[in-house]
Chain A
Amino acid sequence: DTEVTQTPKHLVMGMTNKKSLKCEQHMGHRAMYWYKQKAKKPPELMFVYSYEKLSINESVPSRFSPECPNSSLLNLHLHALQPEDSALYLCASSELAGRRNEQFFGPGTRLTVL
């Protein structure tokens, strides 16, 4: 099983809503990532978790709140988002966080903020 799954596939939310994105992998990977991607641009790193601990937060606004409940799951809690937060949100995982570790991406959640 070399798959990273993400739910939901699509999400439309208002600026006052609270929602969560979910990511799961069963490859035994110990590093998991959240990325944000705008159309025709490369993915931008948001957060890195290594051994279920947050190791990188790329100065992401507090309206995005990550959570790693266990080594297989990664959540991204969303609250009071802005229309400019509309994007494809990608989850990825790798065996470890350091060198020589390929990142495998999920299919993404297409988020639209109205």
Chain B
Amino acid sequence: GQQLNQSPQSMFIQEGEDVSMNCTSSSIFNTWLWYKQDPGEGPVLLIALYKAGELTSNGRLTAQFGITRKDSFLNISASIPSDVGIYFCAGKPVRDRGSTLGRLYFGRGTQLTVWP
């Protein structure tokens, strides 16, 4: 199946710092999604991207659909303690039968810890 490489695996930062994480694929994607998951809860959709080069913001979060269509980036500005959690990228490859039926490919996640 499709492999998504998400990095970094974990981040330990101080409150107020900016955060960047990214996701790369071996093939071209037509959908990139970013989710945040708190312990014991379901993933919450943060940002959805559908077009190469697209840059979308949601409060302090900004995500981009890479122009090569093989990557996506998520930035968090001025981090706060409630940003703690696991961030997952997810996406759908072009010309993937499973994706047309609903399959979503996930990265392994970035565990974010914010120190006050």
Instruction: Give residues in A with beta carbon < 8 Å to B.
Output: 4, 6, 31, 33, 40-43, 45, 48, 50, 55-56, 88, 90, 92, 94, 97-108, 110
Partner of A108, one of B41, B98, B111: B41
What CA separation (Å) do A64 and B26 show in the bound complex? 32
B92 interface contact, C-beta 8 A: yes
Q: List 27 A-B contacts (CB under 8 A).
A: A6-B42, A33-B102, A41-B108, A42-B90, A42-B108, A43-B43, A43-B88, A43-B106, A55-B102, A56-B101, A56-B103, A88-B40, A90-B42, A92-B42, A94-B102, A97-B102, A98-B100, A99-B31, A100-B30, A102-B45, A103-B90, A103-B104, A105-B42, A106-B42, A108-B40, A108-B42, A110-B40
Instruction: Give residues in B with beta carbon < 8 Å to A.
Output: 30-31, 33, 35, 40-45, 48, 50, 86, 88, 90, 92, 98-104, 106-109, 111
| A64 to B: closest C-beta gap in Å | 17
Q: Which residue of chain A is the closest to B107 with respect to CB atoms?
A: A42
Q: Which residue of chain B is the closest to A4 with respect to CB atoms?
A: B42
Q: With A40-B86, A99-B31 given, can you name 10 additional A-B contacts, CB distance below 8 Å?
A: A4-B42, A40-B109, A43-B43, A43-B88, A43-B106, A45-B104, A102-B45, A103-B90, A105-B43, A105-B44
| B16 to A: closest C-beta gap in Å | 26
Report whether B102 and A98 are in contact in the complex, using a CB–CB cutoff of 8 Å.
yes
Report whether B101 and A48 are in contact in the complex, using a CB–CB cutoff of 8 Å.
yes
Q: Which residue of chain A is the closest to B42 with respect to CB atoms?
A: A105
Partner of A56, one of B43, B102, B107: B102
What CA separation (Å) do A37 and B33 show in the bound complex? 18
What CA separation (Å) do A33 and B107 show in the bound complex? 18
Q: Which residue of chain B is the closest to A103 with respect to CB atoms?
A: B104
Report whether B102 and A107 are in contact in the complex, using a CB–CB cutoff of 8 Å.
no
A41, A90, A99, A106: most-surrounded residue (chain B CB, <10 A): A99
Report whether A42 and B109 are in contact in the complex, using a CB–CB cutoff of 8 Å.
yes
Report whether B48 and A102 are in contact in the complex, using a CB–CB cutoff of 8 Å.
yes
What CA separation (Å) do A54 and B98 show in the bound complex? 13
